[in-house]
């Protein structure tokens, strides 16, 4: 009997110890797995950092090499110009006055090269400003459908095309209440650039139209353009001296008029950001 009790007591202790040890073991295994996962992740992050650092070092070395090559080319060209001028001066067939004339010609070439570089930099700046304007307009317009309003840059000119269904009822040149939303957003961006000049163009499809007092599509397009201009001036305070209105009628389509979709695309109002020609001509003037 005593042997049985001793045996039961020992067995119970062994089971309890085994249970506790099993739980502790599982806990340690879970902790190990977590630590090992973190370690693997850190190893991956470290590898990514090392790869990025190596890539940066390669790019830096490549750029430094290109800069050094450009410096050498620049020095080579300078040396060649100097040697060529000295050789010309040393030749008995060329007088000192002729050599001086050639020297001035070389200087003029250098000045023209700087002028071309300035012109290119100014044109690049203009393109950057146009892209910034487009991004601001797209940000202001938000998620309106592309078929209803389209903003683009073509050959250095910014165009804003607005479908007629956002602005007018069919055959009408009276601005609808819902048109104020899109015109207000466009006007806000244009007002932030007070030096900008722009033209509002009316466009139609080629379906014949005549409704008193309007004579035809051309007449309708002109009235629609002036209606938009008046809203931009009277409701949103844009400077009328910087605005022009024009009617294009059916004569500048963006799509064929032989389908409903094409005719819908052609019925639009276009706002054209006009290039500042006075500034462009100033760029063409040689610097004194």
What tokens appear for 9 in the block?
């007591």
**Of 200, 189, 197, 188, the residue nearest 235 (C-alpha):** 188
| Alpha-helical runs (H) found in 158-245 | 179-191, 217-234
The model's pTM:
0.54
State residue 152 phi and psi, 5-degree precision. Answer: -155, 165
Residue pLDDT tens, the chain, 288 long? 555 554 555 555 555 555 557 777 777 888 888 888 878 877 766 776 676 677 667 767 777 777 777 778 777 777 777 777 676 556 545 566 666 676 676 666 665 566 556 555 555 555 666 676 677 777 767 665 556 888 888 877 888 899 998 999 988 999 998 888 889 988 988 888 888 899 999 999 999 988 888 899 999 999 999 999 999 999 999 999 999 999 999 999 999 999 999 999 999 999 998 876 454 445 445 555
How long, in residues, is the chain?
A: 288
Place of tokens 């309003």: 149
CA pair distance 37, 198, nearest whole angstrom: 61
């Amino acid at each position: 009997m005593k042997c049985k009790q001793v045996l039961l007591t020992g067995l119970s202790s062994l089971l309890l110890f085994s249970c506790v040890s099993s739980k502790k073991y599982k806990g340690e295994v879970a902790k190990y797995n977590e630590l090992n996962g973190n370690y693997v992740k850190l190893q991956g992050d470290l590898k990514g950092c090392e790869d990025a650092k190596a890539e940066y070092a390669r790019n830096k070395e490549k750029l430094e090499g290109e800069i050094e090559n450009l410096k050498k080319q620049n020095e080579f060209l300078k040396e060649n110009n100097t040697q060529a001028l000295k050789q010309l001066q040393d030749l008995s067939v060329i007088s000192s006055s002729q050599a001086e004339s050639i020297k001035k010609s070389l200087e003029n070439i250098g000045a023209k090269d700087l002028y071309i570089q300035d012109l290119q930099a100014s044109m690049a700046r203009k393109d950057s400003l146009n892209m910034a304007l487009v991004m601001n307009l797209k940000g202001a317009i938000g998620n309106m459908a592309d078929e209803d309003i389209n903003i683009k840059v073509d050959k250095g000119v910014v165009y804003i095309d607005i479908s007629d269904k956002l602005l007018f009822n069919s055959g009408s040149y009276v601005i609808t209440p819902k048109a104020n939303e899109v015109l207000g957003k466009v006007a806000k961006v244009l007002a932030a650039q007070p030096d900008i000049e722009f033209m509002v163009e009316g466009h139609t499809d080629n379906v014949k139209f005549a409704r008193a007092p309007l004579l035809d599509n051309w007449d309708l397009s002109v009235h629609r353009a002036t209606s938009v201009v008046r809203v931009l001036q009277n409701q949103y305070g844009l400077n009328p001296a910087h605005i022009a209105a024009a009617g294009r009628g059916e004569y500048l389509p963006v799509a064929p008029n032989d389908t409903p979709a094409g005719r819908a695309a052609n019925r639009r109002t276009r706002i054209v950001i006009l290039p500042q020609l006075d500034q462009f001509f100033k760029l063409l003037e040689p610097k004194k």
